[in-house]
Amino acid sequence: MPRYTVDRFEGTDWVVLKDEQAKTFLVPRRWLPTDVREGDFVIEAQQAPNTETVSLRLELDPERPERSARSERE
């Protein structure tokens, strides 16, 4: 399952995520949990089986509750 680090916020509507290969993605803020902060690790939520609609939802990674090293320095 892909994991991403919340790299930074761009204004109030956008978030920059960084994947494990250091590629960055700009996504709408509404796709993430409301309590997410810079440095949090997020994963793609499971899609309901047998649905025709493809959607993406991100959630905090329960296996990585610690924040990234970058977040700890700030």
Question: Is there a contact between 6 and 15 (Cβ–Cβ < 8 Å)?
Answer: yes
**Owning domain of residue 30:** 3-46+56-73
Please list the pLDDT of the chain residue by residue as tens digits (74 residues). Answer: 678 899 999 999 999 999 989 999 999 998 888 888 999 988 876 666 666 655 566 667 777 656 555 444 44
Supply the CATH number for residue 19's domain.
Answer: 2.40.50
List the one residue out of 33, 29, 5, 34 whose CA is nearest residue 15: 29
Side-chain half-sphere CA neighbours of 53 within 13 A: 4
Taking the model in full, what pTM does it have? 0.67
Q: Is residue 39 part of a domain?
A: yes
What is the tally of structural domains in the chain? 1
Q: Is residue 51 part of a domain?
A: no
CA dist 65 → 12, 18, 38, 60 (Å): 24, 17, 13, 8
